[in-house]
A and B are shown apart, each in its own frame.
Chain A
Amino acid sequence: MKKYLTLLSLIALLTLSACAPTIAEKAPVTVATMLDSEGSVLGKMIILALNAQDIETVDKINFGTPDILRAALENAEVDLVVDYTGSGQYYHPEDARDASIWNDPIEGYNFTAQLDREKKDIIWLTPSPANNTESIAVTRAFAEAEKIESMEDLAVYINAGKTFKLIASASFVENPMGLLGYEEAYGFKLTNDQIISLASGNTAEMLKALAEGTNDVNASLVYGTDGALDKLNLVVLEDPKHIPPVYLPAPVVRKAVLDVYPEIETILKPIFESLTLETLQSLNAKVAYDGEDATMVAGNYLKDNGFLD
């Protein structure tokens, strides 16, 4: 009997120790980001910058898909995330007024920041000026052969009935400010078999399919800050009518955590302001295509620009 009691208590102890609470004076900041290379780089930058100022962090980089990330932030599972200003269209759909605010970087940001602050106690900090918007990319060979430089040229090509296949995320395909907006503005309509719609919004696989011509894909969704378009020999089609919303990456933090560490705002502001489109593109290329360590890339960037000693 005694033997079984000790065995039981041992097992109970083992399982309890797995979920033992940690008591700390000031709780560390849990930083979480999305699954792509930008999430890795920006996340590591935030962690390195905060750690350098003696703010303890918990690394949850590459946490999950955007909806899981947002749910985790709203439920206080994580404290600080990197999100995009245009996402406000999904978070407060009932308050969305006219869609044109999303094409203005400042209006879109203000709208989302204000609603999140009032309704969810979530604060949006200073964004980067890099517009990570959704565009369509084609291979350089295709663009030169068919003389396509902009969305208008593409519309002409599609309406002439030539072979076309687009690979994109489901949310882009169904979005009135995404593919549907493009179709309306430039006057073309894609049939279902001209679209390959993926559940995830990660462009790495889409660009790979485009570059290799898998499944006859000749166009793909691409984000503004996607790296290595050069290396893959892809070009982005110009969009003179600016259809998709503006997506600026910004640190988003829970108000409760910002109250404990108000210096987060001043630490991250200059870093994010320095991240231009070209900068983010090259950083992303290093991580996603060259396979460099995100911590090294982030650390080197911060050191080279004087944010870290």
Chain B
Amino acid sequence: MKDGIRRGLSLILFATLFFLPIGFFKVNRVLNGSVFSLWELGYAWMLVLFALFSTFKIEFKWLRYLRTGFLIVLPSVLIYISQRYVITEIYDPNVARISLGPSIYLAIIGAWVLLSTETKGTLKITLSLLALLVLFGLGMFPMLGLYKEYINRQASFFLELQRHLSLAVSSLLFALIPGIYLGYQSTRHPRLREWIMGFVNGFQVAPTLSMLALLMIPLASLGQSFPFLRAWGVKGVGFLPAFIVLSLYALLPITSNTYTAFKQLDPSVMDSAKALGMSSKQVFSKVSFPLALPFIITGVRIAFIQNIGNTILAGLVGGGGMGSLIFLGLAQSATDLILLGSLPVVLMAMGFEVILEFTELRLKKKMGVLYDQA
């Protein structure tokens, strides 16, 4: 997107602060609250005026630095001042809470879109996000419903976060070798490819939830019949059914991308390697596999991002993870708890996407197989 378009977009996004609700004031955890707008926050509208001006092109170097600093802290400042909403009725500050309204989310996106027009934009956006997270963790937003839910269950939040990551990572690792093997074999045996792809696609099409439910019964009976398996965690609920389902789901991106990776190799490269006297094993390990690796990593990246989202369902079968927070929030009708569960998943997915894409790019450059990519 051209810079001009991005600046125009930011302008619109900042302008929504003027007419869309900036927050909801809730008297307690469950009931929906009353909306409030920017105009009820005293002089906060001046801040938005600055934000609007910041979308214009700035010539002076120092003004530009000021603008960058302003944009980086803008999200945190907006959330902070939304807590200043003055309520006229009597309320208990421990119980009443603020939920963020649509215009704050849009304005935060606006600030980040504007930051993306600057040099090292991704770094600055990350800084802005980090500032938000650090201030959140330090308790600078105590009136935020999201914070109140977080502080009430801090220990279990991090425990579930760790469980979520370990489930996503371990199921991915488990699917890695079979996925690569199947993908490679698909290139060697074209007839087998149909079967392998059909098999792997089947798991993508099957609804994850049904697979989880179907797995519960055989796993439970298996665990009951063989006690030593139970000690190893073979149960109908918990870690194992989620692990199995997630591994099967991760198979498709890995297999499919491995197939493409090996298929796109230039046969003349392999021929030259053979001509140099390499055995077929050496050709594979020193030539084919390293050349295919960047594209295999693409498949791993896709599988991992997919897994992070899918792991939410583990919460339904007692497997822990952010899903358990989301479903608890649904059951208790506490929207901030649902957010507390879903926001980390979104942030993790986005974060890993950036990291893994970066790794991929480095690897591709190193391998010297960087093709022109849009």
Report A-chain residues with C-beta under 8 Å of the C-beta of B31: 208, 211-212, 232
The CA of A228 and the CA of B285, in the complex, are separated in Å by 67
Query: Secondary structure at chain B's binding surface: helix, strand, loop or mixed?
Result: helix
The CA of A34 and the CA of B156, in the complex, are separated in Å by 17
Query: Is residue B98 contacting chain A, with contact meaning CB distance below 8 A?
Result: no
Within 8 A of B (CB), among A229-250: 231-232
Report B-chain residues with C-beta under 8 Å of the C-beta of A15: 170, 173-174
Min CB distance A118 to B, Å, is 20
Within 8 A of B (CB), among A1-56: 1, 4, 8, 11, 14-15, 18-19, 21, 32, 35-37
Q: Decide if A11 touches B177 in the complex (CB within 8 Å).
A: yes
Query: Is residue A62 contacting chain B, with contact meaning CB distance below 8 A?
Result: yes
Q: With A4-B285, A75-B224 as known contacts, state yes or no: A14 contacts B170, CB within 8 Å.
A: yes
User: In chain B, what residue has the closest Cβ to A4?
Assistant: B285
Which among B17-25, B59-67, B234-242 touches the partner chain? B234-242
On chain A, the number of residues with a Cβ less than 8 Å from chain B's Cβ atoms is 42
Q: Decide if A208 touches B333 in the complex (CB within 8 Å).
A: yes
Min CB distance A179 to B, Å, is 21
Q: Decide if A71 touches B236 in the complex (CB within 8 Å).
A: yes
Report B-chain residues with C-beta under 8 Å of the C-beta of A77: 220, 235-238, 318
Query: Is residue A290 contacting chain B, with contact meaning CB distance below 8 A?
Result: yes
Nearest 10 interchain pairs by C-beta? A35-B331, A204-B333, A291-B29, A293-B152, A205-B333, A289-B28, A21-B231, A290-B95, A18-B170, A19-B233
A-B contact sample (20 more), CB < 8 A, given A18-B170, A68-B317? A1-B285, A4-B285, A11-B173, A14-B173, A18-B166, A18-B239, A35-B327, A35-B331, A36-B332, A64-B318, A71-B236, A77-B238, A202-B332, A208-B32, A212-B31, A288-B332, A291-B29, A291-B334, A293-B151, A293-B152
* Subset of 25 A-B contacts with CB under 8 Å: A1-B285, A11-B174, A14-B170, A18-B170, A19-B239, A19-B243, A21-B232, A60-B318, A64-B237, A68-B318, A72-B236, A72-B318, A75-B220, A77-B236, A211-B31, A212-B32, A232-B31, A288-B29, A290-B28, A290-B29, A290-B92, A290-B95, A291-B95, A291-B148, A291-B149
Q: Which residues of A contact B (CB under 8 A)?
A: 1, 4, 8, 11, 14-15, 18-19, 21, 32, 35-37, 59-60, 62-64, 68, 71-72, 75-77, 200, 202, 204-205, 207-208, 211-212, 228, 231-232, 288-294
